[in-house]
Amino acid sequence: MRYAETGFNLEIDLSRGNIERVATEPIETELHLGGLGTNAKILWDRVPPEVEPFSPDNLLIFSTGLLCGTPVPGANRTIVSTISPQTLLMAYSMMGGFWAPELKFAGYDKVIIRGKSPNLVYVWINNDKVEIRDASHLQGKGAIETGELILQEIQEPKAQVAAIGLAGENRVYFASIEQGRSSASRLGVGAVMGDKGLKAIAVRGTKDVNVARPDELLELCNEVLGYIKVRAENPIQGVPPILAGLGSPQEMAVHDEKWHTENFAWGNARHRRKDFWNEEVEKQWTETLENSRERFISCYNCPMKCGATISVPELSVYMMKCYSKLTYTMASMTDLDFGLRIAQRATEHGVDAFSAPQTMAFAVELYEAGILTDEDMPGMPSDAEERFFWLLERIIRREGIGDILADGTYWAAQRIGKGAEEYAHNNIKKHEQLPLKLGMLNPIYFLMYCTGEKANITQIEGQFPQAPFPSREEREEFVKDWFQVPDEKFKQYFVDWDLRGDNSIPYYPPIEATCEIVDWMEKMHYIDDSTGICAGLSSFPLKPPYHIHNLPRVISSATGMDIDEAELSRITKRNRTLVRAVNVRRGMRRQDEKPPEDHWRRRFPELEAQLLDEYYKFKGWNNQGIPTKESLHELDLDYVSEDFLQRGILTDDGTPSKEAPAETEKK
Amino acid sequence: MGEKEKKTVKTIKIDADKCNGCRACEAICSAFHATPKYSSTNPARSRIRVVRDPLRDIFVPVFAGEYTAAECMARDRYVIDGREYDECAFCRASCPSRDLFKEPDSGLPLKCDLCEELEDPALEEPLCVTWCLSDALTYEEREEEVEEEEEPLEELEIGLESLADRYGFEKIMDTLARMSEAKKG
């Protein structure tokens, strides 16, 4: 018997209309766990670098995490992996909600989509019965609306539906896949789904998911729930309210938005408004949220309430979480009421709430600068709110200027020219980022922005505080019950970290410590991305209930494998390296690894180069960021180095390849 | 009138306003009732289900009550606070009109046992209550004077009764006899 996983994937070829249930090899679980790890292996094996994002040979993988469907609290994430049309690299976007556990209960670990359907279709997975169904009547429907219509059609209210809106159908590079209260938004996975002619996947399952050592696992689950209660009663002192608790930031519950509105940038990630938050704004925004928020809601088997149902007059109900609450408001320089209204449309159309508002603000800025003119934007309203609605509708339909903007700021700037490139300033690897503009370079964040393969800071940061606390006493207090650290030395790194003086950024933490801190934070995310445990209970918040000391036991008791901290770290490093290998094979090199260009006002080129050099070494990569033959061998990834040698990416004598590939360009 | 006797009335109080729809109650219920205990999870086997329709703000945890062989003459339809609850949303019965509270494999009825049947020593409260950190579920016990009652049916008896309703008593007897012969042989 297989434990925690089902041992079967569903392979669906949409070109041929072929559906197969394929048994998986247990060795893959031992080597990669599941979720992102096994997705990366499949992409390495089956999607060579010549395959373009919109090729029928590109795969779109919907994976459960290894622990989804077990009683492990918060293990509910769906990991969607493919090749991104925007970055041309591996995309791995994830969503919470209810879809992944339902797929497990239907008897599958992954749904692997290949080919392209000539007509729009949806897939209906009902335990052993799997059908490809016509979806022509769903063309143009909103993502949530589609979910509702499909549930009526299949007459199964307990099914879970992941769907795209019009943005996905029209291959908008930042189209999302929406599901329940969650979405896989980043890196254009919805565009690939639309390109494949796949409108939705509905799933219903009524089978068992087994675990190997039930009593041991239950005890661990109860410890986790107990600690969640402890943390609820003991918010972390000295950090903004939004960072004090567990979960993804509790945006739907919090009214005090001083931290976001004054520290994050408005417009096209340009302006900080340091005196924005006042009593009047607070009163108005509180009223807006109280009037539109119906209920706090959770994902499957999770006590956190990171989301809420939002009901705005005259618009259908939708669900929202996290920072999407503010991205449209701040990009458009308007207020929360507008933000909640346009987010309803954006959710139905299915677009990413970081990239979409940034791209619209970018267009407005180009217009104000005279780079885009009335000729490019005929009929664009002058009012800030109406403009955003106007732009959104054009983008998701790829009409006029919308067709250019639908590729995101990087590619749009390339096509517009006339200096537009300077306005596409908030990207890493061509992908729009959180709108944050700060003063002094932070070495930890520098490395995370440069090397984070998910191209999203919230999906790599988390375990180590974002900034030092003002006094040593506060820092000593913080580390007292900080048992989540992998090693005691991390406590010292934090205690010694000052706001000013010798022990402050950018030269503190020292380079070696910086490497260790970044590596720890990244490792925790890669574990979650394989197990399907939500980062909100694990890798994202400070002092989380899941950590490097209990995760090996959670995984071992659920799966029956015997994994200790060292082995879990090794598996995780293997997965992380394999993701990098997929991207290196697609041309990613050191020159692609940069933070958003004006993220910090004060930059230190020499230090930055040193940081990258040392971190690459720490990770077992050469100075181009390519995993070395030796480090690949240590991770049982010899097949990767053989491929690299054959392609001339690595050379036999270990010197860096002479070939200096251009930044990954669109063919 | 029969004799009066003291009885402990056990209640899971459901505050639907606090339900966040996470279905942890379903997960832990199905795990607790698995054999061996906690060895598998399957909400379809759970004896508590969240009737959940987020877009209409419907979140109603319902735990399984008695098995009944017959459908009601009419179905419930409540409107509360402008929200319409249909398809027997508040009903606890395992009945022919819906697939709720039936073993997915056998179709046999499921009934909430307050986690008492299998646990030794007894739990302080049913596990769905423990796992509901939103406090939508709370456990209460109170003493009441009640009429003397018949002994409640055992789980096996309820199951057999439902099989008899479906296949007829004769057929069940025949099948049992044949099975026991086969076992001996």
For B55-77, write each residue's pLDDT tens digit: 999 999 999 999 998 888 877 78
The verdict on B135 and B156 lying in the same domain is no
DSSP conformation class of A94 = E
User: In the numeric block, which tokens belong to residue A608?
Assistant: 């930055």
Are B15 and B105 in the same domain?
yes
Q: Establish if A1 belongs to a structural domain.
A: no
- Interchain CB distance below 8 Å, B44 and A206: yes
Asked if B21 has any chain A CB less than 8 Å from its own CB, the reply is yes
Q: Do residue A309 and residue B133 have CB atoms under 8 angstroms apart?
A: no
* Domain shared by B136 and B175, yes or no: no
B120: pLDDT confidence band, cut at 50, 70 and 90?
Answer: low
Do the chains contact at A211 and B39, CB–CB below 8 Å?
A: yes
Residues 6+ apart with CB under 8 A from B158: B67, B109, B111
For residues B134 and B59, state if they share a domain. yes
Please state, in angstroms and rounded to a whole number, the distance separating the CA atoms of residues A495 and A111.
46
Q: In this predicted model, what pLDDT tens digit does every residue of B5-32 receive, in sequence order?
A: 888 888 899 999 999 999 999 999 999 9
**Are residues B24 and B38 both part of a single domain?**
yes
Provide the residue type at A459 as one letter: Q
* Structure token digits, residue A70: 């077990």
Identify the CA nearest to A532 among candidates A549, A518, A551, A517.
A551
Per residue in A16-63, pLDDT (tens digit) is 999 999 999 999 999 999 999 999 999 999 999 999 999 999 999 999
Q: Quickly list H helices, A532-664.
A: 551-559, 565-585, 605-619, 629-634, 638-646
> Cα(B92)–Cα(B161) distance, rounded to whole angstroms?
18
**Token pair for A490:** 């991390």
How far apart are the C-alpha atoms of A380 and A439, rounded to whole Å?
35
CB contact (8 A) between residue B38 and residue A148? no
Which residue in A460, A579, A443, A453 sits closest to A524, CA to CA? A460
Question: Is B44 in CB contact (< 8 Å) with chain A?
Answer: yes
Domain of residue A640 covers: 441-646
| Cβ partners under 8 Å of residue A201, min gap 6 | A62, A111, A122, A123, A125, A161, A162, A163
**Global ipTM:** 0.94
Mean pLDDT confidence for A299-311: 95
B111 is written with which tokens? 């009934």
pLDDT band at A180 (very low <50, low <70, confident <90, very high): confident
| The pLDDT of residue A662 is above 80 | no
pLDDT (average), residues A226-236: 96
- Give the count of Cβ contacts less than 8 A between chain A and B: 95
Of the candidates B33, B21, B91, the residue with the CA atom closest to the CA atom of residue B62: B91
% pLDDT > 90, chain A: 93
Q: Give the Cα separation of A607 and B178 in Å (integer).
A: 83
- Counting the structural domains of chain A, the total is 3
Q: Residue A636 has what pLDDT?
A: 98
pLDDT above 80 for B93: yes
User: Is there a single domain that holds both residue A353 and residue A494?
Assistant: no
Of A292, A291, A307, the closest CA to residue A180 belongs to A307
pLDDT on residue A85: 98
* Cβ pair A182, A144 in contact under 8 A: no
CA distance A374 to A371: 10
Contact residues for A185 (Cβ-Cβ < 8 A; gap 6+): A93, A95, A174, A176, A177, A351, A352, A353, A354
User: Same domain, yes or no, for A190 and A47?
Assistant: yes
Cα separation, A492 vs A476, whole angstroms: 9
Based on the domain organization, do A192 and A319 belong to the same domain? no
Interface test with B, best of A98, A295, A320 (most B CBs within 10 A): A295
Mutate to test the interface with A, among B84, B133, B134 (most CBs of A within 10 A): B133
Domain span holding position B74? 4-149
Output the pLDDT for position A657. 59
- Give yes or no for a contact between A560 and A217, defined as CB atoms under 8 angstroms apart: no
Would you state the pLDDT for residue B88? Answer: 82
Higher pLDDT, A243 or A648: A648
- Look at A79-83, A446-450, B120-124 and tell me which has the smallest mean pLDDT: B120-124
Q: Is the pLDDT of residue A457 over 50?
A: yes
Residue A601 has pLDDT above 90, yes or no: yes
Same domain, B94 and B172: no
Tens of pLDDT, residue by residue over A471-500, are 999 999 999 999 999 999 999 999 999 999
Inform me whether the pLDDT recorded for A119 exceeds 50.
yes
Question: Coil, strand, or helix at residue A319?
Answer: strand
Residue B185's pLDDT is what?
62
Instruction: Round to whole Å and give the CA distance between A526 and A620.
Output: 17
On whether the CB atoms of residues B69 and B162 are closer than 8 A, the answer is: yes
Distance from C-alpha of A357 to C-alpha of A363, rounded to nearest angstrom: 10
Q: How far apart are CA B153 and CA B42, in angstroms?
A: 25
Spacing of C-alpha A152 from chain mean position: 31
A129 and A264 fall within a common domain: no
Q: Are residues A463 and A417 in the same domain?
A: no
E strand or H helix at B158, and its extent?
Answer: helix B155-167
Q: What is the pLDDT of residue A664?
A: 47
Phi, psi (deg, nearest 5) at residue A431:
-115, 130
B138 with B167, same domain: the answer is: no
Q: Give the CA-trace dihedral at A52, A54, A57, A60, to 10 degrees.
A: 110
- Does the pLDDT value for residue B118 go beyond 70? no
Residue A605 preceded by cis peptide, ω within 30: no
* Residue A227 touches partner B, C-beta closer than 8 Å: no
Which residues, at least 6 apart from A502, have a Cβ–Cβ distance to it below 8 Å?
A508
Predicted confidence at residue A241, as pLDDT, reads 83
- A243 and A100, same domain (yes or no): no
Distance from CA of A626 to the nearest CA of B (A): 42
pLDDT exceeds cutoff 80 at A658: no
Query: What is the structure's pLDDT at A443?
Result: 98
Q: How far apart are CA B127 and CA A61, in angstroms?
A: 35
